[in-house]
């Protein structure tokens, strides 16, 4: 029968067994261990030398005792040292196991603490958001019906009630009056070229003037959308993957405001043409109205049950149109954050984008099944459809002349539609695999900008490519013209805002 010492893992000369752990030991090793520690080395229970039980085993034949100067004496000395090393190694293994257990416990505690901190941080953010909505809006002078005011006060937020308020005769009259004024102004302008409009030759010579990479967080890179203040085109509003919207002054190269509140990325932004007011939308299914001066929210519009995909401000500056993957478009009052009407797509398709006609009485929406639909706002009905694209509609833009509509999808082309004849009169075929993310006519309707794989500017009517900008290192997600097309601004997934113009 072969025995093995639990300390040295060798055959013991004088085997003994511990009644406490039942393990076999070399007598001299266990006696040393007990003398030093007073416990069983296997389970740590107290034990004395007297409790050890000797095991009778066949004797091991050993050589005769050598003299102190012999080689066997040296070997015996080495054996003693080996025994000490084995005892120390065993102690270290026990300490290592204990340290591993303590480390595992500490990691579990750390993970639990991180979860608690994350939950508390989320609760704090929610509380701050609710507190921000309690602040009275700055810069707004709005008269609201008693029922709306009572609802907002009772709910603690400037948000619409569950039921849509509807388009009242007063609102319809306001929309009609504004459309009449805009139509008369357009006829008065006629076909004259606006004074100060950049020429086609000037645009051909545009070069990059500035690149601003630090508007949004580097940890969640990517600027997804942009808009420009119509009255002061030096002010640019951007929305990014970092769940923030940023107002930037390109002349002073300073960030004016950072608008935080969305719980998901900001995919659509609007800059009010006459006020320091921003409107943002996100896949978190909310539309938020901001006072830029105070960087605070003045209203939250919860008009949709899914990600908001399109946003367009009415010419009155009082109402916003929105579309969503919940298959509905909505028309809301930005002053009080109230939903006025919500209409489902006629074919039950998710909506991907939206844009008001310059007069504000009709608007266009894009769907995931490649349809462009024209709607009458007053009647809340679908009045025309433009088929022809393939893939979800990515962008659409009405020309200021009121006749042209530009659209793009995932088919690498831009289609131009005549609203008078309700037909496609021009298709700009782009490179194979070209992705279009945004379209924009300038304020005069003379030029069309396309953002996507690169940034391009076309001359309307001739549809000639005037300039192609390849300065972004990733997809360009948005493009806008400056005043009189004297500059072009674009944003990209490469986290930069780039300004183009004459040097």
**The CATH number of the domain covering residues in 1-62:** 3.30.40.10
Report how far residue 383's alpha carbon sits from residue 131's, in angstroms, rounded to the nearest whole number. 43
Report how far residue 298's alpha carbon sits from residue 144's, in angstroms, rounded to the nearest whole number. 14
Report how far residue 264's alpha carbon sits from residue 204's, in angstroms, rounded to the nearest whole number. 38
Tell me the two tokens of residue 328.
């509905």
Report how far residue 375's alpha carbon sits from residue 377's, in angstroms, rounded to the nearest whole number. 6
**Which pLDDT band holds residue 104 (cuts at 50, 70, 90)?**
very high
Q: Which of 141, 125, 124, 139 is nearest to 294 (CA)?
A: 139
Tell me the two tokens of residue 141.
């002078």
Report how far residue 102's alpha carbon sits from residue 464's, in angstroms, rounded to the nearest whole number. 72
Q: What is the pLDDT of residues 16-48, one digit of tens each?
A: 999 999 999 999 999 999 999 999 999 989 999
Q: Kindly report the backbone phi and psi dihedral angles of residue 230, in degrees, each rounded to the nearest multiple of 5, phi listed first.
A: -65, -35
Least confident stretch, 124-128, 252-256, 265-269, 490-494 = 124-128
Percent of residues, the chain, with pLDDT higher than 70: 91
Q: Look-up: residue for tokens 């509003």?
A: 237
Report how far residue 222's alpha carbon sits from residue 280's, in angstroms, rounded to the nearest whole number. 16
Q: Which residues contact 446 (CB under 8 A, 6 or more apart)?
A: 193, 197, 459, 460, 485
Q: What is the pLDDT of residues 300-315, one digit of tens each?
A: 999 999 999 999 999 9
Report how far residue 80's alpha carbon sits from residue 184's, in angstroms, rounded to the nearest whole number. 110
User: So what's the pLDDT on residue 132?
Assistant: 67
**Which pLDDT band holds residue 63 (cuts at 50, 70, 90)?**
low
Report how far residue 305's alpha carbon sits from residue 331's, in angstroms, rounded to the nearest whole number. 15
Question: 3-class DSSP state for residue 147?
Answer: helix
Assess contact for 265 and 255: CB atoms under 8 A.
no
Tell me the two tokens of residue 285.
């299914």
Q: Kindly report the backbone phi and psi dihedral angles of residue 50, in degrees, each rounded to the nearest multiple of 5, phi listed first.
A: -65, -25
Q: Which of 19 and 503 is assigned the larger pLDDT?
A: 19
User: So what's the pLDDT on residue 164?
Assistant: 74
> Where exactly are the structural domains of the chain?
1-62, 179-501
Compute the mean pLDDT over every residue in the chain, rounded to the nearest whole number.
87
Q: Look-up: residue for tokens 């300038």?
A: 442
Assess contact for 387 and 371: CB atoms under 8 A.
yes
Q: What is the pLDDT of residues 168-188, one digit of tens each?
A: 889 999 999 988 988 888 777
**Chain center to CA of 182:** 37
User: How many C-beta neighbours within 10 Å does residue 149 have?
Assistant: 12
Report how far residue 131's alpha carbon sits from residue 431's, in angstroms, rounded to the nearest whole number. 50
Tell me the two tokens of residue 228.
């420009």
Q: What is the pLDDT of residues 388-436, one digit of tens each?
A: 899 999 999 999 888 899 999 989 999 999 998 888 999 999 988 899 9
**The CATH number of the domain covering residues in 179-501:** 2.130.10.10
What ranges in 38-70 are assigned the alpha helix state H?
Answer: none
Q: Which of 301, 296, 299 is nearest to 128 (CA)?
A: 296
| Axis-axis angle for helices 71-134, 27-37 (nearest 10) | 50
**Which pLDDT band holds residue 281 (cuts at 50, 70, 90)?**
very high
Question: 3-class DSSP state for residue 144?
Answer: coil
Q: Which residues contact 479 (CB under 8 A, 6 or more apart)?
A: 226, 438, 440, 449, 450, 451, 455, 488, 489, 490, 491
Tell me if the pTM is above 0.85: no
**Which pLDDT band holds residue 467 (cuts at 50, 70, 90)?**
very high
Q: Which of 295, 365, 297, 356 is nearest to 326 (CA)?
A: 365
Q: Is the pLDDT of residue 352 over 90?
A: yes
User: Radius of gyration over alpha carbons of the chain, in Å?
Assistant: 38
């Amino acid at each position: 029968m072969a025995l093995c010492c639990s300390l040295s893992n060798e055959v013991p000369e004088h085997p003994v067994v511990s009644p406490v752990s039942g393990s076999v030991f070399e007598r001299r090793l266990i006696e040393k261990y007990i003398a030093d520690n007073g416990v069983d080395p296997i389970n740590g229970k107290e034990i004395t030398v007297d409790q050890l039980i000797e095991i009778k085993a066949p004797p091991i034949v050993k050589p005769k005792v050598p003299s102190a100067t012999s080689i066997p004496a040296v070997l015996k000395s080495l054996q003693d040292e080996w025994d000490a090393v084995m005892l120390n190694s065993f102690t270290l293994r026990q300490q290592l196991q204990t340290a591993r257990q303590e480390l595992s416990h500490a990691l579990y505690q750390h993970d639990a603490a991180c979860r608690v901190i994350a939950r508390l941080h989320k609760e704090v953010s929610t509380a701050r958001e609710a507190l921000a909505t309690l602040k009275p809006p700055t810069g707004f002078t709005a008269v609201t019906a008693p029922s709306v005011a009572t609802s907002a006060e009772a709910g603690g937020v400037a948000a619409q009630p569950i039921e849509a308020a509807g388009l009242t005769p007063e609102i319809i009259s306001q929309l009609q009056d504004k459309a009449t004024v805009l139509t008369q102004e357009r006829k008065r302008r006629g076909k004259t070229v606006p004074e100060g409009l950049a020429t086609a030759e000037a645009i051909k010579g545009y070069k990059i003037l500035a690149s601003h990479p630090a508007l949004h967080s580097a940890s969640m890179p990517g600027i997804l959308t942009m808009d420009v203040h119509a009255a002061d085109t030096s002010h640019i509003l951007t929305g990014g993957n970092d769940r923030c919207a940023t107002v930037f002054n390109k002349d002073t190269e300073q960030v004016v405001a950072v608008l935080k509140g969305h719980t998901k990325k900001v995919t659509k932004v609007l800059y009010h043409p006459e006020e320091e007011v921003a409107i943002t939308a996100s896949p978190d299914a909310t539309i938020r109205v901001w006072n830029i001066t105070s960087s605070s929210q003045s209203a939250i519009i919860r008009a949709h049950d899914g990600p908001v995909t399109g946003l367009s401000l009415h010419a009155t500056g009082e109402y916003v149109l929105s579309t969503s993957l919940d298959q509905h478009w909505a028309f809301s009052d930005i002053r009080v954050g109230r939903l006025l009407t919500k209409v489902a797509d006629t074919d039950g398709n998710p909506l991907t984008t939206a844009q008001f006609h310059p007069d504000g009485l009709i608007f266009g929406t894009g769907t995931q099944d490649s349809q462009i639909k024209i709607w009458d706002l007053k009647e809340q009905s679908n009045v025309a459809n433009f088929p022809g694209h393939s893939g979800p509609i990515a962008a659409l833009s009405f020309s200021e002349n009121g006749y042209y509509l530009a659209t793009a999808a995932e088919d690498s082309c831009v289609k131009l539609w005549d609203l008078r004849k309700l037909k496609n009169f021009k298709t700009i075929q782009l490179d194979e695999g070209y992705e279009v993310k945004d379209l924009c006519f300038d304020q005069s309707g003379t030029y069309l900008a396309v953002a996507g794989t690169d940034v391009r500017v076309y001359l309307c009517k001739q549809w000639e490519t005037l300039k192609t900008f390849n300065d972004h290192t990733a997809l360009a997600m948005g493009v806008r013209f400056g005043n009189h097309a004297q500059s072009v601004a674009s944003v990209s997934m490469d986290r930069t805002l780039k300004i183009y113009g004459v040097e």
